[in-house]
Structure 1
Amino acid sequence: MLGYVALTGEKGRKIMLEQTEVMGLPLVRAQVPGMGGRHEKRLARRVERAARRLREAGVRRVLTGPDFPYWDLLEAQGLGGVDPGPMCQAMAAPLALAALEGGVCPPERAVVALRGGRVSRPFFQAAVALCARVRGVEVRAPGGGAELADYLRREYGLPVLERERPDLIVEFSPITSEPEGGPAMVLHGPSLRLLGLTLRPAMPVPDGFAPLPLTAALWETGCLPQPPEVVPEGKKMTWGVFLGRKGP
Protein backbone atom coordinates (compact mmCIF):
# COMPACT_ATOMS: atom_id res chain seq x y z
CA MET A 1 0.00 0.00 0.00
CA LEU A 2 1.35 3.41 -1.00
CA GLY A 3 0.54 6.62 0.85
CA TYR A 4 0.79 10.32 0.14
CA VAL A 5 1.33 13.03 2.77
CA ALA A 6 -0.13 16.35 1.59
CA LEU A 7 0.64 19.48 3.61
CA THR A 8 -2.36 21.65 2.76
CA GLY A 9 -1.11 24.89 4.30
CA GLU A 10 -4.67 25.57 5.41
CA LYS A 11 -6.21 26.24 8.80
CA GLY A 12 -7.73 23.37 10.68
CA ARG A 13 -6.90 20.54 13.03
CA LYS A 14 -8.41 17.41 11.54
CA ILE A 15 -6.22 15.02 9.56
CA MET A 16 -8.16 13.47 6.69
CA LEU A 17 -7.35 10.07 5.17
CA GLU A 18 -8.93 9.15 1.85
CA GLN A 19 -8.46 6.75 -1.03
CA THR A 20 -7.32 8.61 -4.13
CA GLU A 21 -5.77 7.86 -7.49
CA VAL A 22 -3.08 9.77 -9.34
CA MET A 23 -2.32 8.88 -12.95
CA GLY A 24 -3.77 5.41 -12.38
CA LEU A 25 -1.79 4.86 -9.17
CA PRO A 26 -3.95 4.09 -6.09
CA LEU A 27 -2.91 5.98 -2.96
CA VAL A 28 -4.00 6.59 0.61
CA ARG A 29 -3.74 10.36 0.97
CA ALA A 30 -3.28 12.01 4.37
CA GLN A 31 -4.23 15.67 4.28
CA VAL A 32 -2.40 17.54 7.02
CA PRO A 33 -3.63 21.07 7.78
CA GLY A 34 -1.53 23.76 9.43
CA MET A 35 1.26 26.16 8.64
CA GLY A 36 4.91 26.40 9.57
CA GLY A 37 6.61 29.39 11.09
CA ARG A 38 5.52 30.00 14.68
CA HIS A 39 3.19 26.99 14.44
CA GLU A 40 5.97 24.62 13.34
CA LYS A 41 5.78 22.32 16.36
CA ARG A 42 2.03 21.97 16.01
CA LEU A 43 2.37 21.05 12.34
CA ALA A 44 5.10 18.50 13.13
CA ARG A 45 2.82 16.80 15.66
CA ARG A 46 0.09 16.55 13.03
CA VAL A 47 2.52 15.03 10.53
CA GLU A 48 3.49 12.47 13.17
CA ARG A 49 -0.17 11.59 13.77
CA ALA A 50 -0.78 11.32 10.03
CA ALA A 51 2.20 8.97 9.68
CA ARG A 52 0.84 6.79 12.48
CA ARG A 53 -2.59 6.62 10.87
CA LEU A 54 -1.10 5.74 7.50
CA ARG A 55 0.92 2.94 9.06
CA GLU A 56 -2.20 1.62 10.81
CA ALA A 57 -3.95 1.67 7.40
CA GLY A 58 -1.29 -0.66 6.00
CA VAL A 59 0.90 1.94 4.30
CA ARG A 60 4.64 1.30 4.32
CA ARG A 61 5.92 3.72 1.67
CA VAL A 62 4.84 7.28 1.02
CA LEU A 63 5.08 10.02 -1.56
CA THR A 64 5.38 13.66 -0.55
CA GLY A 65 5.84 17.08 -2.07
CA PRO A 66 9.23 18.47 -3.15
CA ASP A 67 11.57 19.38 -0.27
CA PHE A 68 9.33 17.71 2.32
CA PRO A 69 10.95 18.58 5.70
CA TYR A 70 9.55 15.85 7.99
CA TRP A 71 11.04 12.61 6.71
CA ASP A 72 12.52 11.88 10.14
CA LEU A 73 8.99 11.81 11.61
CA LEU A 74 7.75 9.47 8.87
CA GLU A 75 10.70 7.12 9.28
CA ALA A 76 10.19 7.03 13.06
CA GLN A 77 6.73 5.58 12.32
CA GLY A 78 8.16 2.94 9.99
CA LEU A 79 7.36 4.71 6.73
CA GLY A 80 9.88 4.98 3.90
CA GLY A 81 10.01 6.66 0.54
CA VAL A 82 9.91 5.25 -2.98
CA ASP A 83 13.43 4.46 -4.19
CA PRO A 84 14.01 5.79 -7.74
CA GLY A 85 17.28 3.83 -8.01
CA PRO A 86 15.93 0.72 -9.77
CA MET A 87 14.16 2.86 -12.38
CA CYS A 88 17.25 5.00 -12.93
CA GLN A 89 19.39 1.88 -13.36
CA ALA A 90 16.92 0.49 -15.90
CA MET A 91 17.25 3.83 -17.75
CA ALA A 92 21.03 4.00 -17.37
CA ALA A 93 21.83 4.05 -21.10
CA PRO A 94 19.41 6.91 -21.99
CA LEU A 95 20.63 8.87 -18.95
CA ALA A 96 24.28 8.35 -19.91
CA LEU A 97 23.68 9.35 -23.53
CA ALA A 98 21.75 12.45 -22.47
CA ALA A 99 24.61 13.46 -20.17
CA LEU A 100 27.13 12.99 -22.98
CA GLU A 101 25.02 14.90 -25.48
CA GLY A 102 24.37 17.61 -22.90
CA GLY A 103 27.98 18.71 -22.92
CA VAL A 104 30.18 16.02 -21.38
CA CYS A 105 31.45 14.62 -24.69
CA PRO A 106 29.95 13.68 -28.08
CA PRO A 107 28.85 10.04 -27.70
CA GLU A 108 30.75 8.84 -30.77
CA ARG A 109 33.99 10.04 -29.16
CA ALA A 110 33.19 9.04 -25.59
CA VAL A 111 34.41 6.26 -23.34
CA VAL A 112 31.82 5.30 -20.71
CA ALA A 113 32.82 3.38 -17.57
CA LEU A 114 30.22 1.10 -16.00
CA ARG A 115 31.10 0.27 -12.42
CA GLY A 116 29.60 -1.69 -9.55
CA GLY A 117 29.99 -4.72 -7.36
CA ARG A 118 28.45 -7.13 -9.86
CA VAL A 119 26.93 -7.24 -13.31
CA SER A 120 23.21 -6.95 -12.67
CA ARG A 121 20.57 -7.11 -15.39
CA PRO A 122 20.41 -3.27 -15.73
CA PHE A 123 24.23 -3.17 -15.82
CA PHE A 124 24.28 -5.70 -18.66
CA GLN A 125 21.48 -3.97 -20.58
CA ALA A 126 23.21 -0.59 -20.31
CA ALA A 127 26.48 -2.03 -21.62
CA VAL A 128 24.76 -3.60 -24.63
CA ALA A 129 22.70 -0.48 -25.39
CA LEU A 130 25.76 1.80 -25.25
CA CYS A 131 27.78 -0.39 -27.62
CA ALA A 132 26.19 1.10 -30.73
CA ARG A 133 26.48 4.71 -29.54
CA VAL A 134 29.88 5.29 -27.92
CA ARG A 135 33.53 4.83 -28.85
CA GLY A 136 34.34 2.51 -25.99
CA VAL A 137 33.09 0.98 -22.76
CA GLU A 138 35.00 0.25 -19.58
CA VAL A 139 33.51 -2.55 -17.47
CA ARG A 140 34.61 -2.72 -13.87
CA ALA A 141 32.69 -5.15 -11.66
CA PRO A 142 34.26 -7.91 -9.55
CA GLY A 143 31.19 -10.09 -10.04
CA GLY A 144 30.88 -10.91 -13.75
CA GLY A 145 32.77 -7.94 -15.18
CA ALA A 146 35.40 -9.97 -17.02
CA GLU A 147 32.74 -12.21 -18.56
CA LEU A 148 30.72 -9.21 -19.71
CA ALA A 149 33.80 -7.58 -21.27
CA ASP A 150 34.54 -10.77 -23.19
CA TYR A 151 30.92 -10.97 -24.37
CA LEU A 152 30.95 -7.37 -25.64
CA ARG A 153 34.19 -7.90 -27.53
CA ARG A 154 32.94 -11.14 -29.07
CA GLU A 155 29.40 -10.09 -29.95
CA TYR A 156 29.79 -6.41 -30.79
CA GLY A 157 33.47 -5.92 -31.59
CA LEU A 158 33.53 -2.92 -29.28
CA PRO A 159 36.78 -2.05 -27.53
CA VAL A 160 36.29 -2.68 -23.84
CA LEU A 161 38.87 -0.29 -22.47
CA GLU A 162 40.49 -0.67 -19.07
CA ARG A 163 43.29 1.88 -19.02
CA GLU A 164 41.85 4.87 -20.83
CA ARG A 165 40.43 7.69 -18.72
CA PRO A 166 36.64 7.54 -19.18
CA ASP A 167 34.62 10.60 -20.14
CA LEU A 168 31.67 9.48 -18.02
CA ILE A 169 31.30 7.04 -15.13
CA VAL A 170 28.00 5.27 -14.43
CA GLU A 171 27.92 3.72 -10.97
CA PHE A 172 25.38 0.96 -10.25
CA SER A 173 26.44 0.10 -6.69
CA PRO A 174 29.01 1.36 -4.18
CA ILE A 175 32.63 0.98 -5.22
CA THR A 176 35.59 0.84 -2.86
CA SER A 177 37.94 3.17 -4.72
CA GLU A 178 37.37 6.77 -5.70
CA PRO A 179 36.41 6.85 -9.40
CA GLU A 180 38.94 8.43 -11.74
CA GLY A 181 37.87 10.07 -14.95
CA GLY A 182 34.97 12.23 -16.01
CA PRO A 183 31.84 13.05 -14.00
CA ALA A 184 30.18 10.21 -12.13
CA MET A 185 26.49 9.41 -12.51
CA VAL A 186 25.41 7.61 -9.31
CA LEU A 187 22.35 5.37 -9.70
CA HIS A 188 22.11 3.87 -6.21
CA GLY A 189 21.62 4.85 -2.60
CA PRO A 190 19.73 7.74 -0.99
CA SER A 191 21.66 10.44 -2.87
CA LEU A 192 21.34 9.80 -6.58
CA ARG A 193 23.52 11.92 -8.85
CA LEU A 194 22.01 12.31 -12.32
CA LEU A 195 24.24 15.18 -13.49
CA GLY A 196 21.48 17.72 -13.97
CA LEU A 197 19.02 15.24 -15.47
CA THR A 198 15.90 13.54 -14.17
CA LEU A 199 13.13 11.20 -15.32
CA ARG A 200 9.52 12.18 -15.90
CA PRO A 201 6.44 10.51 -17.37
CA ALA A 202 5.51 11.56 -20.89
CA MET A 203 2.20 12.88 -19.51
CA PRO A 204 1.87 15.85 -17.12
CA VAL A 205 2.88 15.37 -13.50
CA PRO A 206 0.44 16.70 -10.87
CA ASP A 207 1.38 19.56 -8.59
CA GLY A 208 2.16 18.69 -5.00
CA PHE A 209 4.38 15.67 -5.71
CA ALA A 210 8.14 15.25 -5.79
CA PRO A 211 8.33 14.20 -9.47
CA LEU A 212 11.12 11.58 -9.44
CA PRO A 213 9.67 9.35 -6.65
CA LEU A 214 6.22 9.61 -8.23
CA THR A 215 7.64 8.58 -11.60
CA ALA A 216 9.39 5.64 -9.91
CA ALA A 217 6.14 4.53 -8.25
CA LEU A 218 4.30 4.71 -11.57
CA TRP A 219 7.11 2.82 -13.32
CA GLU A 220 7.34 -0.04 -10.81
CA THR A 221 3.58 -0.58 -10.69
CA GLY A 222 3.19 -0.61 -14.48
CA CYS A 223 1.17 2.62 -14.61
CA LEU A 224 3.40 4.19 -17.25
CA PRO A 225 2.24 3.37 -20.80
CA GLN A 226 5.75 4.11 -22.10
CA PRO A 227 9.23 4.50 -20.55
CA PRO A 228 9.91 7.70 -18.61
CA GLU A 229 11.54 10.56 -20.49
CA VAL A 230 14.99 11.95 -19.69
CA VAL A 231 14.71 15.72 -19.18
CA PRO A 232 16.83 18.45 -17.58
CA GLU A 233 16.23 18.71 -13.85
CA GLY A 234 14.00 21.62 -12.97
CA LYS A 235 12.18 21.62 -16.30
CA LYS A 236 8.58 22.54 -15.67
CA MET A 237 6.46 19.47 -16.35
CA THR A 238 3.33 20.08 -14.27
CA TRP A 239 -0.08 21.21 -15.46
CA GLY A 240 -2.30 21.47 -12.38
CA VAL A 241 -3.58 18.86 -10.00
CA PHE A 242 -4.78 15.57 -11.44
CA LEU A 243 -6.01 13.70 -8.38
CA GLY A 244 -9.16 11.63 -8.82
CA ARG A 245 -11.02 10.77 -5.69
CA LYS A 246 -12.54 7.30 -5.42
CA GLY A 247 -16.02 6.77 -4.14
CA PRO A 248 -18.76 9.30 -3.35
Structure 2
Amino acid sequence: MLGHIIIIEEKGRAPVLERETVLGLPLLRASVPAPEGARPRAVERRVGKAARALAAEGVRRVLTEADFPWRPVLGQWGLRDVDPEALCQAMAAPLALAALEKRGVDPARATVALRGNRVSRPFFQAAVQLCARVRGLVVEAPSGGGALADHLRREYGVPVLEEGRGELTVGFSQSGGDGETQLRLYGPEPDLLGMALGLTEKRLPPEFDTLPLLAALWEEGRISQDELTVFANKLT
Protein backbone atom coordinates (compact mmCIF):
# COMPACT_ATOMS: atom_id res chain seq x y z
CA MET A 1 0.00 0.00 0.00
CA LEU A 2 1.25 3.44 -0.92
CA GLY A 3 0.59 6.40 1.33
CA HIS A 4 -0.48 9.95 0.54
CA ILE A 5 0.11 12.82 2.93
CA ILE A 6 -1.85 15.99 2.31
CA ILE A 7 -1.97 19.23 4.30
CA ILE A 8 -5.51 20.60 4.66
CA GLU A 9 -6.51 24.05 5.88
CA GLU A 10 -8.93 22.80 8.50
CA LYS A 11 -9.05 22.88 12.27
CA GLY A 12 -7.96 19.85 14.22
CA ARG A 13 -4.92 18.27 15.80
CA ALA A 14 -4.91 14.64 14.74
CA PRO A 15 -4.36 13.37 11.19
CA VAL A 16 -7.19 11.41 9.61
CA LEU A 17 -6.52 8.22 7.66
CA GLU A 18 -8.78 7.35 4.72
CA ARG A 19 -8.53 5.07 1.74
CA GLU A 20 -8.68 6.71 -1.69
CA THR A 21 -8.20 5.72 -5.32
CA VAL A 22 -6.42 7.89 -7.87
CA LEU A 23 -6.74 6.73 -11.50
CA GLY A 24 -7.21 3.20 -10.21
CA LEU A 25 -4.26 3.37 -7.80
CA PRO A 26 -5.25 2.53 -4.19
CA LEU A 27 -3.72 4.83 -1.58
CA LEU A 28 -3.94 5.33 2.16
CA ARG A 29 -4.30 9.07 2.66
CA ALA A 30 -3.31 10.91 5.82
CA SER A 31 -4.91 14.36 6.00
CA VAL A 32 -2.95 16.70 8.26
CA PRO A 33 -4.93 19.69 9.61
CA ALA A 34 -3.10 23.01 9.32
CA PRO A 35 -5.48 25.95 9.65
CA GLU A 36 -4.35 29.41 8.67
CA GLY A 37 -1.97 30.76 11.26
CA ALA A 38 -0.88 27.34 12.54
CA ARG A 39 2.66 27.35 13.92
CA PRO A 40 5.18 25.46 11.73
CA ARG A 41 6.30 23.37 14.70
CA ALA A 42 2.72 22.29 15.36
CA VAL A 43 2.26 21.27 11.71
CA GLU A 44 5.55 19.39 11.81
CA ARG A 45 4.39 17.41 14.86
CA ARG A 46 1.14 16.53 13.11
CA VAL A 47 3.05 15.39 10.03
CA GLY A 48 5.08 13.15 12.34
CA LYS A 49 1.87 11.67 13.75
CA ALA A 50 0.60 11.06 10.22
CA ALA A 51 3.87 9.38 9.24
CA ARG A 52 3.76 7.17 12.33
CA ALA A 53 0.15 6.18 11.60
CA LEU A 54 0.95 5.31 7.98
CA ALA A 55 4.01 3.31 9.00
CA ALA A 56 1.89 1.38 11.50
CA GLU A 57 -0.38 0.38 8.60
CA GLY A 58 2.57 -1.01 6.66
CA VAL A 59 3.11 1.96 4.35
CA ARG A 60 6.71 2.42 3.25
CA ARG A 61 6.42 4.84 0.32
CA VAL A 62 4.39 8.01 0.16
CA LEU A 63 3.19 10.56 -2.35
CA THR A 64 3.07 14.23 -1.43
CA GLU A 65 2.64 17.61 -3.06
CA ALA A 66 5.56 19.21 -4.86
CA ASP A 67 8.10 20.95 -2.58
CA PHE A 68 6.76 19.15 0.50
CA PRO A 69 8.91 20.63 3.30
CA TRP A 70 8.68 17.85 5.89
CA ARG A 71 10.41 14.97 4.12
CA PRO A 72 13.00 14.57 6.91
CA VAL A 73 10.11 13.91 9.29
CA LEU A 74 8.79 11.16 7.02
CA GLY A 75 12.24 9.59 6.91
CA GLN A 76 12.28 9.32 10.70
CA TRP A 77 9.42 6.84 10.38
CA GLY A 78 10.94 4.86 7.50
CA LEU A 79 8.82 6.50 4.80
CA ARG A 80 10.35 7.48 1.49
CA ASP A 81 9.21 9.09 -1.75
CA VAL A 82 8.32 7.11 -4.85
CA ASP A 83 11.50 7.13 -6.95
CA PRO A 84 10.83 8.27 -10.55
CA GLU A 85 14.17 7.00 -11.90
CA ALA A 86 12.82 3.85 -13.58
CA LEU A 87 10.04 5.73 -15.36
CA CYS A 88 12.34 8.49 -16.57
CA GLN A 89 14.83 5.99 -17.94
CA ALA A 90 12.07 4.06 -19.70
CA MET A 91 11.11 7.36 -21.38
CA ALA A 92 14.70 8.24 -22.28
CA ALA A 93 14.25 8.27 -26.08
CA PRO A 94 11.09 10.47 -26.14
CA LEU A 95 12.72 12.81 -23.63
CA ALA A 96 15.90 13.05 -25.70
CA LEU A 97 14.00 13.80 -28.92
CA ALA A 98 11.87 16.41 -27.16
CA ALA A 99 14.99 18.03 -25.67
CA LEU A 100 16.56 18.32 -29.12
CA GLU A 101 13.36 19.79 -30.53
CA LYS A 102 13.13 22.28 -27.66
CA ARG A 103 16.64 23.49 -28.49
CA GLY A 104 15.81 23.77 -32.19
CA VAL A 105 18.10 20.88 -33.16
CA ASP A 106 16.99 18.53 -35.94
CA PRO A 107 17.42 14.97 -34.56
CA ALA A 108 18.42 13.74 -38.03
CA ARG A 109 21.46 16.04 -37.79
CA ALA A 110 22.25 15.38 -34.14
CA THR A 111 24.50 13.02 -32.23
CA VAL A 112 23.18 11.86 -28.86
CA ALA A 113 25.52 10.54 -26.17
CA LEU A 114 24.25 7.83 -23.82
CA ARG A 115 26.27 7.51 -20.62
CA GLY A 116 26.02 5.09 -17.74
CA ASN A 117 27.92 2.59 -15.64
CA ARG A 118 26.37 -0.32 -17.50
CA VAL A 119 24.04 -1.11 -20.37
CA SER A 120 20.77 -1.66 -18.55
CA ARG A 121 17.53 -2.60 -20.29
CA PRO A 122 16.32 1.03 -20.58
CA PHE A 123 19.79 2.08 -21.80
CA PHE A 124 19.61 -0.58 -24.55
CA GLN A 125 16.04 0.32 -25.48
CA ALA A 126 16.86 4.03 -25.70
CA ALA A 127 19.79 3.32 -28.01
CA VAL A 128 17.65 1.18 -30.32
CA GLN A 129 14.78 3.69 -30.38
CA LEU A 130 17.11 6.59 -31.14
CA CYS A 131 18.95 4.79 -33.95
CA ALA A 132 16.17 5.46 -36.44
CA ARG A 133 15.85 9.13 -35.49
CA VAL A 134 19.33 10.58 -34.99
CA ARG A 135 22.44 10.99 -37.11
CA GLY A 136 24.70 9.14 -34.68
CA LEU A 137 25.18 7.89 -31.14
CA VAL A 138 27.89 7.88 -28.54
CA VAL A 139 27.63 4.89 -26.21
CA GLU A 140 29.73 5.15 -23.05
CA ALA A 141 29.24 2.36 -20.53
CA PRO A 142 32.13 0.44 -18.94
CA SER A 143 29.93 -2.65 -18.67
CA GLY A 144 28.43 -3.66 -22.01
CA GLY A 145 29.05 -0.44 -23.93
CA GLY A 146 31.39 -1.95 -26.51
CA ALA A 147 29.05 -4.87 -27.23
CA LEU A 148 26.10 -2.53 -27.62
CA ALA A 149 28.04 -0.28 -30.02
CA ASP A 150 28.94 -3.29 -32.16
CA HIS A 151 25.33 -4.46 -32.16
CA LEU A 152 24.00 -1.07 -33.25
CA ARG A 153 26.54 -0.74 -36.07
CA ARG A 154 25.78 -4.23 -37.31
CA GLU A 155 22.00 -4.16 -37.01
CA TYR A 156 21.20 -0.53 -37.82
CA GLY A 157 24.19 0.78 -39.72
CA VAL A 158 24.39 4.01 -37.75
CA PRO A 159 27.63 5.72 -36.72
CA VAL A 160 28.29 4.73 -33.10
CA LEU A 161 31.25 5.97 -31.10
CA GLU A 162 32.37 4.64 -27.73
CA GLU A 163 33.48 8.05 -26.48
CA GLY A 164 32.93 11.66 -27.43
CA ARG A 165 30.32 14.37 -27.15
CA GLY A 166 27.03 15.06 -28.86
CA GLU A 167 24.44 17.79 -29.07
CA LEU A 168 22.77 16.12 -26.09
CA THR A 169 23.84 13.70 -23.37
CA VAL A 170 21.46 11.27 -21.68
CA GLY A 171 22.80 10.16 -18.30
CA PHE A 172 21.62 6.86 -16.82
CA SER A 173 24.00 7.10 -13.86
CA GLN A 174 26.61 9.52 -12.57
CA SER A 175 29.36 9.03 -15.11
CA GLY A 176 30.89 12.32 -16.15
CA GLY A 177 29.73 14.56 -18.94
CA ASP A 178 30.22 17.73 -16.89
CA GLY A 179 29.55 20.87 -18.89
CA GLU A 180 27.39 19.11 -21.43
CA THR A 181 23.68 19.61 -22.04
CA GLN A 182 22.55 16.57 -20.10
CA LEU A 183 19.28 14.85 -19.38
CA ARG A 184 20.00 13.35 -15.97
CA LEU A 185 17.69 10.37 -15.61
CA TYR A 186 18.96 8.97 -12.33
CA GLY A 187 18.45 9.67 -8.66
CA PRO A 188 15.35 10.83 -6.79
CA GLU A 189 15.31 14.23 -8.57
CA PRO A 190 16.06 13.73 -12.29
CA ASP A 191 16.94 16.78 -14.38
CA LEU A 192 14.60 16.85 -17.38
CA LEU A 193 15.98 20.17 -18.68
CA GLY A 194 12.83 22.06 -17.84
CA MET A 195 10.52 19.53 -19.50
CA ALA A 196 7.82 17.44 -17.84
CA LEU A 197 6.08 14.11 -18.25
CA GLY A 198 2.30 13.98 -18.23
CA LEU A 199 -0.69 12.05 -19.50
CA THR A 200 -1.95 12.63 -23.00
CA GLU A 201 -5.67 12.37 -22.27
CA LYS A 202 -6.04 12.54 -18.49
CA ARG A 203 -5.50 15.22 -15.86
CA LEU A 204 -3.68 14.47 -12.65
CA PRO A 205 -4.93 15.73 -9.27
CA PRO A 206 -3.12 18.97 -8.34
CA GLU A 207 -2.34 17.86 -4.78
CA PHE A 208 0.38 15.47 -5.99
CA ASP A 209 3.93 15.96 -7.16
CA THR A 210 3.41 14.89 -10.78
CA LEU A 211 6.49 12.79 -11.53
CA PRO A 212 6.33 10.48 -8.46
CA LEU A 213 2.60 9.98 -9.04
CA LEU A 214 3.18 9.01 -12.67
CA ALA A 215 5.95 6.65 -11.56
CA ALA A 216 3.61 4.96 -9.06
CA LEU A 217 0.81 4.63 -11.63
CA TRP A 218 3.26 3.18 -14.16
CA GLU A 219 4.85 0.76 -11.68
CA GLU A 220 1.43 -0.59 -10.69
CA GLY A 221 0.30 -0.99 -14.31
CA ARG A 222 -2.37 1.72 -14.07
CA ILE A 223 -0.93 3.58 -17.05
CA SER A 224 1.27 2.55 -19.98
CA GLN A 225 4.10 4.39 -21.67
CA ASP A 226 1.81 4.96 -24.66
CA GLU A 227 -0.35 7.18 -22.45
CA LEU A 228 2.58 9.40 -21.50
CA THR A 229 3.70 12.51 -23.32
CA VAL A 230 6.58 14.94 -22.93
CA PHE A 231 5.73 18.59 -22.35
CA ALA A 232 8.28 21.20 -23.34
CA ASN A 233 7.88 23.04 -20.03
CA LYS A 234 7.28 22.02 -16.45
CA LEU A 235 3.61 21.65 -15.60
CA THR A 236 2.16 24.18 -13.17
Whether TM exceeds 0.5 here: the answer is yes
Contact 1:36/1:43, CA 8 A, preserved across alignment? no
SS of 1:170 mapped into structure 2:
strand
Change (3 A) 1:65 1:84: same
Change (3 A) 1:100 1:6: same
Give 2:90's aligned residue.
Answer: 90
Give the counterpart of 1:198 among 165, 188, 196.
Answer: 196
Give 1:185's aligned residue.
Answer: 183
Question: For 1:52-104, what per-residue CA distance to the aligned partner results, in whole angstroms no more than 9, with x for missing partners?
Answer: 00000010000001111000000111000001110000000000000001115
Aligned length: 234
Give 2:19's aligned residue.
Answer: 19
Where does the alignment leave 5 or more consecutive residues of structure 1 unmatched? Answer: 237-248
- Whether 1:218 and 2:183 are equivalent positions in the alignment is no
Q: Which amino acid aligns with 1:92?
A: A
Q: Which amino acid aligns with 1:190?
A: P
Change (3 A) 1:91 1:39: same
Give 2:154's aligned residue.
Answer: 154
Q: Which amino acid aligns with 1:82?
A: V
Contact 1:165/1:181, CA 8 A, preserved across alignment? no
* CA distance in structure 1 between the partners assigned to 2:104 and 2:87 by the alignment: 23
* CA distance in structure 1 between the partners assigned to 2:179 and 2:45 by the alignment: 47
Contact 1:166/1:181, CA 8 A, preserved across alignment? no
Change (3 A) 1:180 1:64: closer
* CA distance in structure 1 between the partners assigned to 2:81 and 2:164 by the alignment: 38
- The 5 A counterparts of 1:1-248 are 1-35=1-35, 39-103=39-103, 105-162=105-162, 164-175=164-175, 178-179=176-177, 182-202=180-200, 203-225=202-224, 226-236=226-236
Contact 1:117/1:141, CA 8 A, preserved across alignment? yes
Aligned-residue RMSD, C-alpha:
1.5
Change (3 A) 1:36 1:159: farther
Q: Which amino acid aligns with 2:198?
A: R
Q: Which amino acid aligns with 1:215?
A: L
Deviation at 1:228, TM superposition (A): 1.5
Contact 2:149/2:162, CA 8 A, preserved across alignment? no
Deviation at 1:217, TM superposition (A): 0.4
Larger displacement relative to structure 2 (212-221 or 198-207): 198-207
* CA distance in structure 2 between the partners assigned to 1:221 and 1:80 by the alignment: 17
Question: For 1:219-241, what per-residue CA distance to the aligned partner results, in whole angstroms no more than 9, with x for missing partners?
Answer: 110001543211133335xxxxx
Question: For 1:127-184, what per-residue CA distance to the aligned partner results, in whole angstroms no more than 9, with x for missing partners?
Answer: 0000010000000001000000000000000000245531100010121xx3156401
- Percent identical among aligned pairs is 53
The TM-score normalised by the length of structure 2 is: 0.94
